[in-house]
Chain A
Amino acid sequence: MERSSIIERVLRAVLLTLIVIFFLFPIVWILLMSFQTNEQILRIPPSLSFVPTLENYKALISGHLLTSAGSLDIAFMRNLGNSVLLSTCAVVLALILGVPAAYAFARFKFWLSEDIAFTLLSFRFAPPLLVLLPLSLYFQDLGLVDTYVGLIWVYQLIALPLILWIVRGYFEDISPDIENAYRIAGHSWLRTFFKIAVPLAGPGIAAAGLLSFIFCWNNFVFALVLASADKQPVTVGALAFVTASGIQYGQVAAAIVLSVTPTLLLALYAQRWLVEGLSLGAVKG
């Protein structure tokens, strides 16, 4: 390793540069596009010299698009709001359901405990449409079609396995002796859970929450099948927006930028837990 030749170091640098360009160029390019007018985007050859404009973002935020075919009203901001609402509520619910269950699975061996834990894990790997398509018929009968509640419940399929398995690992790593000592001192079980176990597993709970937020935000198929037009998150909304006629490309780019910024920022913030989250708690970063 230490005595690498010049050729090897150059080769390494070239390879890494190519890799970084391949993975980052699309993001940078779309970001640049979002500050250009349609005329600038349509130039051939493409050019990097342009005066940045905020018109695309202004149009998206105001909701009025001026297209060649006339004025078009879009609800992209509403999609963005839906994404925030759906992902936040789904994660909060998953934490309320998942953290106590993770604790139970980590501390006690009881009837069906492993079965429930593994059933939840297997949900992560079953084809989502298998459950979603019958569910869409049930939702019509139950009157859940036009509600956030139904979607938030279904989002548990994404968030719950993640939270359960990551947080369970954190609870297992805490020695039960600490809790026993606290209980011997005369504290109730509930108090021990909230005063000792939850704070000690705090980093794991935070990581699992952040990661499930990202995965809920990025989800597409759940809302595509189950959400009515005014409940759609950005992933579904952006796609509908593109297929609308006479759209300005700069505005599509701006919509993409607005849809991915929250998750990319969160991911940068949560990056030291990403390995753990991506492997559902199997690999520690």
Chain B
Amino acid sequence: MTSQPIDEPIRVVDRRPVEWLPYLLSLPALLVCIGILIPFVTALYYSALRFRLNLPALKGFIWFGNYINLLYDAEFWNTVSISLRYTALTVGVELVFGLIIALLLQRQTRLNNLISVLLLLPLMTAPAIASLMWKLMTNPNFGILSYLVSLAGVSDFGWASSPSTALFTVVLVDVWVYTPFMMVLLLAGLRSLPQQPFEAAALDGVPRLFVFFRITLPMLSPYIITASLFRLLDAIQQFDIVYAMTQGGPGNTLLVFQVRAYLEFYQYTNVGKSAALLVVLWMITYVLSHFFIKNWLRLRERSHASA
């Protein structure tokens, strides 16, 4: 390496990378993008077709026919209602539960850190496998939870196999898997808050509840909003847990969007209707993800500014 004399101007000829370089670097990612956009556009096209795999002769373009049929289909509204209930229940419970756990673990002690790591394990279990675990525990013949419930005097608690308790059971599994997600994001948020307002409040003897609602919650809100939107986006599309636990049953009690679309495709081979259902779901998630990305970007900028 030759060092240049200081007064000699540095040559800038090839310092800037060639202009096509960024394109070359991002080309593979772009190709993957295009590769995914093709089936996406195909799905949009299918949703405008009368298209049943078992009746290929009837295939034809019907514009918004599938969507209009959905509007008059009571089953569709059942799907909307069950998906919304599932989403509201899981995200609501997980948020409250996750916030409580995060507050309990806020202080950095060795025990708290150990607990917060151990609580991550459910989240790292595949949701489909987690469902199997709960299936074994709620089995009517030998399931430990069935036994515990029977000790409490309820002998015919049906868990996932009874229409009255199926929603409760899948929500329970979802809460078990995803509460740690809320916990871990909110805990990171809590620990990153500036300490001065809390110290000042403690000096002034401000009551704890007042501190929580007037200082902690407002300061934590970007984390709460981002984590909740994240979970909302996932919960409204939940497939793994519902499919592995009950395949949408018993009856039509748990036919959430994606499970219904899956069955519509494979059981009834109605490709057009299945695609229309998924496009409706996509429009919901698209709107949600718009809000999500805005919040997410703000949080991202903040964490990089402080790093």
Contacts and interface: CB of A to CB of B under 8 A. Distances in A.
A90 B278 CA distance: 26
Contact of B121 (A126, A164, A235, A264): A264
Contacts of B285: 125-127
A44 B117 CA distance: 34
A57 to B, nearest CB: 16
Interface string B122-143: 1111111110111111010110
B6 interface: no
Question: Which of A97, A103, A282 has the most B CB atoms < 10 Å from its CB?
Answer: A282
Interface in A252-280: 252-253, 256, 259-260, 263-264, 266-268, 271, 274-275, 278-280
Query: Interface residues of B toward A: which range?
Result: 35 or more
Nearest to B38: A138
A45 B26 contact: no
B25 A100 contact: yes
A129 B239 contact: yes
A146 B95 CA distance: 42
B118 A24 contact: yes
B281 interface: yes
B89 interface: no
Contacts, number: 274
B25 A104 contact: yes
A51 interface: no
A189 interface: yes
B189 to A, nearest CB: 7
Nearest to B175: A22
A234 to B, nearest CB: 7
A256 B131 CA distance: 10
A130 interface: yes
Given A44-B142, A133-B271, A256-B132, A282 B43 contact: no
A271 B118 CA distance: 10
Given A125-B292, A221-B240, A104 B22 contact: yes
Residue of B46, B176, B184 with most partner-chain A CB within 10 A: B184
B219 interface: no
Contact of B33 (A44, A110, A116, A189): A116
Contacts of A100: 25-26, 28
A249 B288 CA distance: 41
A260 B126 contact: yes
Q: Which 9 A-B pairs have the closest CB atoms?
A: A218-B126, A104-B25, A267-B124, A101-B29, A220-B128, A108-B22, A134-B42, A97-B28, A100-B25
Given A122-B293, A134-B40, 20 more contacts: A23-B122, A46-B142, A100-B28, A101-B25, A101-B29, A103-B25, A122-B289, A127-B257, A127-B278, A129-B239, A129-B261, A129-B262, A130-B40, A130-B282, A134-B39, A180-B15, A184-B10, A220-B127, A221-B240, A256-B133
